[in-house]
Structure 1
Amino acid sequence: MTSLNSRRFLSLSGARWILVVGDANADLGAALTHFPREGHDHPLQALTWDSGGSGANVATALGLFGGGVRLLARVGSDPAAEVALRAARAARVDLSFVQRDEAVATGLCFAAVSPGGERTFFSHRGANACLALPEVDGLLDGVGWIHVAGHALLEGVQRETTLTLMAEAHRRGIPMSLDLCLPLLAAHPDTLTVDQGSGRLTVLFANEPELQAVTGEHHADLVEEGWLDRALAVTTAAGIPLVAAKLGARGSLIAGLEGDRQTIPPFPVDARDTTGSGDAYVAAFLFALLTGAPASTAGLLGNAAGAFVATRPGAASALPDRETLFAFADHTKPHDAPDAPDAPHRGSR
């Protein structure tokens, strides 16, 4: 497996803009001693405010890595808006296309974090769902890559805006990536069909529950059911060249159109809070890919970023800058590649 030497990576500072389309939320994080049953009165160990939302998180991380990043999102005209955008602003993300809604509140996510680091979200999308179509020429001026966070395709005006932007980006030859989310697949199970525009994508990101949902099946024993084979068959049929499957503590798996698969080893950590880990993976993967690294190296850097964030509380505030991420990766070292689902494919190229 390729090592992560920061000197091998070019800076994104001279590259074209990366446009991130997605949600910006104020996150209210709560540390639990255990996950309560319905109807119980359960005290919290800690309560924190943080910037959040997949769009804002990915944009913030890319900004911390040194990229020229532009965020398209919508917040309210309330104090929560400043919380939602605080981390992105500190990371020097271009917020000139972030919209302010005078009538609808900023999106809010309550993240309940169990002792093992697993998070459960209770979300109000708020102004995110009202994202209007901006002046497209100005928005796409200098843009060399577009990343879409899955919630941007979920509903309402925001969905129509995002679909229009994706169609225009495809017309202009701008490559795109999409990070799936379970609500999107529940509301629009045809998301990964060519007629819905998935054939315009260059990279698809998804975690295990999302890939399982792609098959339309729900099984207790995922390995024996061969769910990953079926999920990747769907992405291949949709013409998506590269799929990055986020496998959590087992690392990730990179799959291509020709059936190539590479299992990428994880970085061992004691997870404290996995909120934002998937977004960190996406940002690090894109950073590596856009600086010319192969997909396997991008997956390894993504694994390192996701693992680092899992060791810290919060979402955007847990994201590392470039130097911190490479120092962590060098110090922690990845495990040897573990067995992934459908193990016969492990290590194939």
Structure 2
Amino acid sequence: MVQVPGAWPWAGAGAGGGAWEAGGGMRTWAGGMRAPRLAPGDPIRCRCSVWQAEGVQSHMTRKKLMLHTFALLSAWLASARQSDASDLYKRLEKRDPEALSKPLMPSIVAIPVAEQVYPDWLEGTWDVSCKFSGYLLPVKQLSKEQIMRDVEIPGFQKLSIALLPDVGSSASFQKSFRRRADGKVVEDRQAGFTSLINSYVGSSAVKSVTCTNDRDSIELIPGKTRNAERIELFSSSRDSEAVGDIFVCSDYVRQVTYGLSKQFGVARQVVGEYQHFWTFKKKTDYELTANLLTAAYLQPQDPLFFQAPSKAVVVYSTDYNFRRG
């Protein structure tokens, strides 16, 4: 597994193991929890006021003031993203659960994000095996019982997290990274989602996958799974950094899952938000290891939302082994 210096404070709720019995497609996770290998660090903190940044004049019209403020805010957010990305590895080393909160950007201004770029040594097709390695409930104000009853939390139902279709289970699939025309290496998400979901579901469940820089649309064959017929993924914040043979990246995702409902002619729609934190470590030209931390958040309509409006209420850890196919 990926080794990063430091130690997680894994005391408290979630550290005792036991059964996971939230219902709705849940698995039972027995045994004690093993600490995930890494997590993000301090969140971005704004210490400036956009209203004072350039001495906004009192005679400006309301429209001009709004446009001026929006321009300043957009510029600051873009700068914050660049600064935050440059020290992602250091933040991950801190292993502070408080740092798994939602990024500032998606809640203020929706800025299109570029496709994630990966190091050259990830290029190619890999045979991947993964194994669930533990979970954590970092919000002390919420009891384990309160969280387990909330089946709308991402990960508590199958396919509520597209990259982890059945949290708690193991799987084997293929993952590919290709070189674009500009020479940069990106993930083949279309092939990746198809192989991943089919492996977890246990059959050829994926009908089609359409991808753009910041959106993925996954259509499933009707009847293959009861929890989803179509999945829409929207990415609104990404960071990455390479340090030697280690590459770290994060992706904040809003997932909308459409499926069958009890009401005839009306599709069931479930919205979830979560953030992925990947760490890849190169071992040889033909083998690498990785860890994925997935932080799940509450939606505003959730009764527990105001107790954790921006903090991760559940964190899942999954370990991966990559071998060239």
TM-score, reference length from structure 2: 0.31
Q: Mark the structure with the bigger radius of gyration.
A: 2
State the structure with bigger RCO (CA 8 A, min sep 6), 1 or 2.
2
The answer to which structure has the higher helix fraction is 1
TM-score, reference length from structure 1: 0.30
